[in-house]
Amino acid sequence: PSPKSFQPNGASEEALRCEITELKQKDLALDQEIAQLLSEGYSLEELDKHISLLHEYNEIKDAGQMLLGKLAVIRGVTTKQLYPEYDLELSD
């Protein structure tokens, strides 16, 4: 192969530049959001705790969804049909 075949074409370079620009904008937006939260009195430790609790909540919710799915299969119904029986909202 020629050395030119190893060089990215102009379109790929432009796509990478756009992606880099977008990532820099996201980084700046996140920095601004963190600064806003800090100015409202939140601490980084508190934010880390909230993130940790959200991860734990999501893991528990996933386990519950898995159990509902297995129960639905056993009963031959859809998961959606089980929601009223357990007082769950579709948004839960």
Lowest mean pLDDT among 15-19, 44-48, 61-65, 71-75: 44-48
Task: Parse the chain into domains and list their residue ranges.
Answer: 9-42, 43-91
pLDDT at 1: 47
Helices (H), the chain: 10-39, 44-75, 79-82
Q: pLDDT tens digits for 19-60?
A: 999 999 999 999 999 899 889 988 888 888 989 999 999 999
pLDDT at 47: 84
Provide the whole-model pTM: 0.53
CA distance 66 to 1: 51
